[in-house]
Amino acid sequence: MLAIAALSLWPQGMISDHHHLDKVGHFAAYAALAFLPSLFASSLRQAATIMMAMCLIGVGLEGGQAFLPDRVPSLLDTAANLAGAVCGTG
């Protein structure tokens, strides 16, 4: 979780955005982040709560970039975060 937060808030120039391949990274990171706690969900309600929490984290970290001088939030990054969270919770 801390690694995802750090990478989400790191200055833009230090992270490569080669032809939008970073979207794969966003998807994979949030899928992994959601998958691990989902393994321990004992009900559909718990799984849905995990999914919503991961989605809120993804939207929150991406939106938080609007307040940083070297970052710009992206709707495509947000979509990749959300898709990863949903698929990871599965």
Q: Which two tokens stand for residue 87?
A: 């698929």
Specify whether the CB–CB gap between 77 and 62 falls below 8 A. Answer: yes
Q: Which two tokens stand for residue 34?
A: 């959601």
Closest by Cα among 61, 69, 37 to 51: 37
Q: Is the pLDDT of residue 3 over 80?
A: no
CA 77 vs CA 37, 41, 62, 63: distances in Å = 22, 27, 7, 10
Q: Write down the pLDDT at residue 17.
A: 58
Over the stretch 10-38, which tens digit does the pLDDT of each residue have?
Answer: 666 655 556 678 899 999 999 999 999 99
Over the stretch 24-80, which tens digit does the pLDDT of each residue have?
Answer: 999 999 999 999 999 999 999 999 999 999 999 999 999 999 998 888 899 999 999
